[in-house]
Amino acid sequence: MPGMPMAPSNGLGTASLVLGIVAAVGFCLWPVALACGILALVFGGIGRARARRGQATNAGQALAGIICGAVGIALGIAFLVVFLVLPDSEIDDSGSGDDGFSTSLTAVR
């Protein structure tokens, strides 16, 4: 109907917040965190732009999605770096085979 104001479209801000939370909480699944975090940043940016134009009313949700998405991306990258860069401390490179724990039982008479 002409003259009727359209209802605000808040879907992108809400989607950004949900994806940002998934990215931040699921950072140990770093591919999921990176994908959800990137989508949260994109949807949050679009949602904030719509809120500035008056087409949406949830600028705060969109901003929270951007923040959570960025945190999820940072945690996902940090998790990936920790497990790719840090050496495995359980590998014995000395060649002696002695890890400090006895693997045989001895009976004392």
The domains of the chain are located at: 11-85
- Output Rg (C-alpha) for the chain, integer angstroms: 25
Confidence of residue 89 (pLDDT cuts 50, 70, 90): low
Q: Which two tokens stand for residue 18?
A: 């949900």
What is the average pLDDT value for the chain, to the nearest integer? 84
Taking residues 23-35, report their average pLDDT.
91
Contacts of 80 (CB under 8 A, 6+ apart): 30
Q: How many residues does the chain have?
A: 109
> b/e map of 52-73 (b: 16 or more CB within 10 Å)?
eeeebebbebbbbbbbbbbbbb
Q: Which two tokens stand for residue 109?
A: 């008479």
Confidence of residue 51 (pLDDT cuts 50, 70, 90): very high
